[in-house]
Structure 1
Amino acid sequence: MQWSVALEGGPRRVNHAAVLLGDNHIYSFGGYCSTEKAQARGAPIDIHVLNATTYKWQRVWSEQEQRHMGTPPRRHRRGRSEVLDEVARRGFRLNAQGRLQGVRRLELGSVDSDDEPEMAAARAAPAADEVQMAVSDHEGDSDEYEDARRDASIEDEEAAADAAMGVPEADFVPFGAYHQHGLIAEEMEEDTKSVVPYYRYGHTVVAYDGIAYLWGGRNDESGACDLLHAFNPVDNSWRTLATKGRIPPARDGHSAVVHEGKMIVFGGFEEQDQRFSQETFIFDFATATWTEMATTGDRPAWRDFHTAVVIGDDMFVFGGRCDIMGQYHSTRDVYDEQMRALNLKTNRWRVVETKGSIPSGRRSHSAFSYSSKMYVIGGFNGALNEHYNDLYEFDPATEVWTKLETFGEPPSERRRQCTLVANDRVYLFGGTKPSHDSRLQAIPNNNAQGSLTDLSDLHVLDLKPTLYQIAAMKICCTRGGRALFRKRMMFLPGVIRDDLMNRIDPALLAGKPMTPATPAARQATA
């Protein structure tokens, strides 16, 4: 295993939640940054998306968020090439007179699975009258217009894939948000507009059937939430599910996993009763019904900010913050090194008698599963006041823990980061760390555990590094390698050159800062 990418300039977030949608796009929802202005009550959650190939972050702006920030979209007269590029990329056709023809209008939920990639791009298409208005600006320029129209197309497969996922080359077009070329997305009917969840931290997000499901979390203004929200990346739309059954009390710091068409929620801190939880709840996606699982066996102690993964029919739970007072919070933390497993067929808990190099108890760490094994990285032990950046592997077949030694420079010690797997690679980003470590850019975050700094970095761990990836790491992660690359880059094939440039600094190809600009800044340059 090798750490091959380390980049700055992403969203600076702590205690956020992320999920992989599609093969190549990682969506990060919410979290907080200590230095950002406090959000008003009911302010919408923010969303950032990472292209796992180019390492570029983009911001998803919702109509509600723009309205809250007081930055309505502004129109501007575009050049001919801009209009044609937008028309072609959005799937519209022009006849000889430059008029629109074959405009596809979609009703929400009417996409046929066989046509999904093509239709997905059309979902984000601007309204026909908006495009026609833009085209009409340039009527009469027939010769140049015809040549430009002939050449207008989606530039490459990556742009086509992004469009199919609802990811335009620059900004997303959610609800009625603006686009980099000034086109306004088609207004949804009033009765189909969905509720955007308010900003929060300590929530969970899982993916099921191409949709992200967000549950729980809290903020200091609005408190905790027990509503289940669904985000569709095709049209960047939110909706609140009408659920029934035994809805879990609102909480944060819980875990959520998916198994056989159901979401399993465990633990967390319940706001109303001010207690830690040790209960397990199930949400059935098919029936939109919540139930509390009646478990047997040796349940884990009450806890929050633990991790859980599903391997086979078992949900493995590790770590988290317990309390000497059991289910009630006394600020006297207890950290558990035991591994617990819940069999999802028999609903029975058991203590896993682990062996090997057992990691110390911790909370706010990350865990993921890969090749039928569980991995744990980072976290914090409040009793010892220690942050971690170690990486452990747990094999359920042998019940053995192994501390892994990786190549490359690992991330700094941290907690409350996001970590997930995509295409045999681990993507770790954000979180907070002790201020004494100055290897990466950070923002001060003073709290009871001492001075912390909030992070905006991205790290990529290759689980199966190829010879190319090993060589790329040597080039991109050493000063001499980067200097040699800059001298010889023009002699390399374009695909390799672009990949190495992205590993060094994605902004080199984008031609702009990696950090997303604010709506006001974008409009100023519109």
Structure 2
Amino acid sequence: HPLTPNPNILNRKTVKSQVPRLRVGAQMVAVGLSRYTGSGSLGVVMVGGKVGSHLLTDAWAYERTIGPRADLAPRGAWRQQLAYIPTFAREGHAVAQSEGHVFFFGGQRNGGVVLGDLWVHSGKEWCLLAEHEQEHDTARPSPEPRAWATLSGPLSHDGEATLVLLGGVSGRRVSSSGFGSPSRVTLLDPWLWHSARKRWSRPTMLEHGQSGPGTNRHRNLHDEHPLPRMRHTATVLGDALFLFGGQTSERGESMGTRGREGRELWAFHCRNTPGNAWVWKDLTSSVPWGIKARSGHAAVAAHDR
């Protein structure tokens, strides 16, 4: 028998106010909107996207109206009260929220130029927090420019809110073992953005063989962390970040093919050890077989799931 849809659940509604253009590749994050619309409502902020080959620079807030408890359908209105993305239109950027602020990092300009800048919205305008320097600065290190990375958080680390930047594809190119032009380097390197100190740092990683009693010290080092990847998801739940899926290289072994898509699930968290070392834990064995390998998907934490 066909199921009768419940009109109060996942019911598609037309927002009658001003609405953003249809697009692909936009980034959205849930956040309290007091800084952006003047109300204390919960909502989402959407940044950028792409229409055909045209990259967009607009940013929108969707303010949710709280209805009856039984009404789970979204109600609300879009508001274009956020400033346009500064400097360059881009795609493949990463967006996150921390302490009521919306952040975005990097992405790719038209022409394939990748970016390494970090911005935060003050409630009135976008403010530049950090930018990658071509000359290596050991005093203030910063992540390599990249696109299709993830920026996730906040995690509490050393008593302050911290965002985690993970993966992506860089602008560096390496020779391909197949045909065609060299492919760009896919990254894994995690970076931490410390909101209070306004600076990047590399996390201290737990060395191979230091996981504690009973650790198999003969495991392959490549088993200790996921492969470099792009177009994955990384979602914070509690005190850990969970990475799923993604594309492990820009191009496969022959021209025009993509790299392998994954279905691995990993947890990344800070161990209560001297030096607050971080560690990866492979949880792939818990992924049901019905969940296929994928990239370019979305994931969100809801309560404790």
TM-score, normalised on structure 1?
A: 0.41
Instruction: Work out whether 1:45 is the aligned partner of 2:66.
Output: no
SS in 2 for 1:25: strand
Task: State the distance in 1 between where 2:29 and 2:101 align.
Answer: 10
Task: State the distance in 1 between where 2:21 and 2:100 align.
Answer: 23
Alpha-carbon distance, 1:361 to partner:
0.8
**2:198 counterpart letter in structure 1:** A
Ranked by relative contact order (alpha carbons within 8 Å, sequence separation 6 or more), the top structure is: 1
Instruction: Work out whether 1:18 is the aligned partner of 2:18.
Output: no
Instruction: Work out whether 1:58 is the aligned partner of 2:75.
Output: no
Alpha-carbon distance, 1:358 to partner:
4.2
**1:293 counterpart letter in structure 2:** P
Structure 1 residues 371 and 60: alpha-carbon distance in aligned structure 2, compared to 1, 3 A threshold: closer
Question: Per-residue displacement from partner, 1:102-135 (whole Å, max 9, x unpaired)?
Answer: xxxxxxxxxxxxxxxxxxxxxxxxxxxxxxxxxx
Q: Stretches of 4+ moved more than 4 A in 1?
A: none
Alpha-carbon distance, 1:13 to partner:
1.9
Task: State the distance in 2 between where 1:61 and 1:301 align.
Answer: 36
1:197 touches 1:229 (CA, 8 Å); kept in 2? no
1:295 touches 1:348 (CA, 8 Å); kept in 2? yes
Instruction: Work out whether 1:212 is the aligned partner of 2:85.
Output: no
- Map residues 22-101 of structure 1 onto 2, 5 A cutoff: 22=32, 23-34=41-52, 38=54, 45-53=57-65, 54-60=75-81, 62=83
Q: How many residues align?
A: 234
Instruction: Work out whether 1:239 is the aligned partner of 2:127.
Output: yes
SS in 2 for 1:239: strand
Alpha-carbon distance, 1:293 to partner:
2.3
**2:226 counterpart letter in structure 1:** P
Q: What is the aligned partner in structure 2 of residue 3 from structure 1? A: 10
**1:282 counterpart letter in structure 2:** L
**1:360 counterpart letter in structure 2:** K
Task: State the distance in 2 between where 1:230 and 1:286 align.
Answer: 13
Q: What is the aligned partner in structure 1 of residue 292 from structure 2? A: 360
Question: Per-residue displacement from partner, 1:28-57 (whole Å, max 9, x unpaired)?
Answer: 11111116xx46xxxx82112212224322
Unaligned runs of 5+ in 1: 66-194, 374-526
Alpha-carbon distance, 1:356 to partner:
3.7
- Map residues 57-456 of structure 1 onto 2, 5 A cutoff: 57-60=78-81, 62=83, 196-221=86-111, 223-233=113-123, 236-242=124-130, 245-258=140-153, 259-260=155-156, 261-273=161-173, 274-296=184-206, 298-323=224-249, 331-345=257-271, 346-352=277-283, 353-373=285-305
Task: State the distance in 1 between where 2:302 and 2:151 align.
Answer: 17
Unaligned runs of 5+ in 2: 1-5, 33-40, 66-74, 132-138, 174-183, 207-222, 272-276
Structure 1 residues 356 and 320: alpha-carbon distance in aligned structure 2, compared to 1, 3 A threshold: closer
SS in 1 for 2:22: coil
SS in 1 for 2:80: strand
Task: State the distance in 2 between where 1:247 and 1:256 align.
Answer: 14
Structure 1 residues 248 and 335: alpha-carbon distance in aligned structure 2, compared to 1, 3 A threshold: same
SS in 2 for 1:334: coil
Alpha-carbon distance, 1:5 to partner:
2.6
Task: State the distance in 1 between where 2:61 and 2:121 align.
Answer: 13
Task: State the distance in 2 between where 1:320 and 1:361 align.
Answer: 8
What is the root-mean-square deviation in Å for CA atoms of aligned residues?
3.0
Structure 1 residues 354 and 30: alpha-carbon distance in aligned structure 2, compared to 1, 3 A threshold: same
SS in 2 for 1:227: strand
Question: Per-residue displacement from partner, 1:201-228 (whole Å, max 9, x unpaired)?
Answer: 1111111222111111112147221111
Q: What is the aligned partner in structure 2 of residue 70 from structure 1? A: none
Alpha-carbon distance, 1:301 to partner:
0.8
Q: Percent identity?
A: 20
1:201 touches 1:218 (CA, 8 Å); kept in 2? yes
> More helix by proportion, 1 or 2?
1
2:234 touches 2:242 (CA, 8 Å); kept in 1? yes
SS in 2 for 1:56: strand
1:45 touches 1:197 (CA, 8 Å); kept in 2? no
Q: What is the aligned partner in structure 1 of residue 35 from structure 2? A: none
Task: State the distance in 1 between where 2:96 and 2:244 align.
Answer: 18
1:50 touches 1:57 (CA, 8 Å); kept in 2? yes
SS in 2 for 1:317: strand
Alpha-carbon distance, 1:272 to partner:
3.3
**2:303 counterpart letter in structure 1:** S
